[in-house]
Amino acid sequence: MIRRRRHLPIEGFTPRPHTPQQCPASGATASAYRSVEDRRPVTVRTWTDPALVAGVSPARAQQRIDALARLSDLPGITPVRAGGLVDSRRGRHLYLVTDDNGEVLDPSVVDPAHLLRAAADIAAALHRFHAAGHLHLALCPQALTTTPSGRIHLSAHRAPGVHWIAEAALEHQAPEVGQASGGEPRSDVYALASTVLAVLDEGADTSWTSDAALVTALERATAPSVADRPSDLGMLADELDDAARRAAWWEGREESVFSQRIMA
């Protein structure tokens, strides 16, 4: 457990993208608040519904938290500081503590080159997450946040050790998720590509549509058939990285777009 907790008095605050999500299977809800842990601003998410947490394995939940924490030093990922399964007088609950990393991404003002660069970083980080035996399965535009300096991060994750999908992510989940297989690494390939497409589609800058290689890569990554998608997120990361470099070169600001990788 993190020590010296001090809640910030934000009356009625429901931080985006962590507004309560309804669980279709059990009616479980997730709540969140901003706090300060060891002088660091953080977001704390909790899941308390008995139907959701009753069957959670503490060991499996901790394995997922540890795997997320190991991604914390990588570009594109909001650091995970702590988490776990707790039994208290109010009952059992799950919690996850991450850095407070800004506001939800606004697609209307997003720059395609910056988005593609961030998406490449996220794909590369989650490729390591897959290698550790975990799936994310909660990728969607609402899971992306922007820092005051403009960097884009993946900030929202599933409840540790729980398999249901947050409502905001249902639109972007792969067709096979929820079936007997429960998803596989290429399910996250689909969800990330679907997320990128959704944000690009809502943006005011449509220059990306002229990049045939990018359009083809995103269409392939969102193929209904698992076999037709790239075999892993590492391949998608390379394609997004190449597209970001092309977009930055067209706009004459390649150095500014890619300096964040050097600084990370």
pLDDT band (50, 70, 90) for residue 180 = low
- Counting Cα atoms < 13 Å in the Cβ hemisphere of 194 gives 24
Question: Which candidate, 136, 105, 104, 126, places its Cα nearest to that of 200?
Answer: 105
Is residue 96 within 8 Å of residue 65, measured between CB atoms? Answer: yes
Per-residue pLDDT, averaged over 237-252, amounts to 82
Question: Which candidate, 75, 66, 81, places its Cα nearest to that of 36?
Answer: 81
Per-residue pLDDT, averaged over 167-184, amounts to 80
Report helix, strand and coil shares of the chain as percent, to nearest 5.
Answer: 40, 15, 40
Domain covering 5-263 in this structure, CATH number? 1.10.510.10
pLDDT band (50, 70, 90) for residue 165 = low
Please give the pLDDT value at position 1: 36
DSSP conformational letter for 227: G
Strands 144-146 and 152-154 turn out to be antiparallel
pLDDT at 178 over 60: yes
Distance CA 99, CA 78 (A): 6
Please give the pLDDT value at position 166: 65
Distance CA 251, CA 162 (A): 43
Question: Which candidate, 161, 114, 153, places its Cα nearest to that of 137?
Answer: 161
Per-residue pLDDT, averaged over 1-6, amounts to 34
pLDDT at 204 over 80: yes
Cβ atoms < 10 Å from Cβ of 10: 11
pLDDT at 132 over 60: yes
Burial (CB < 10 A; 0-12, 13-18, 19+), residue 64, is: buried
Domain boundaries, the chain: 5-263
Per-residue pLDDT, averaged over 120-135, amounts to 93
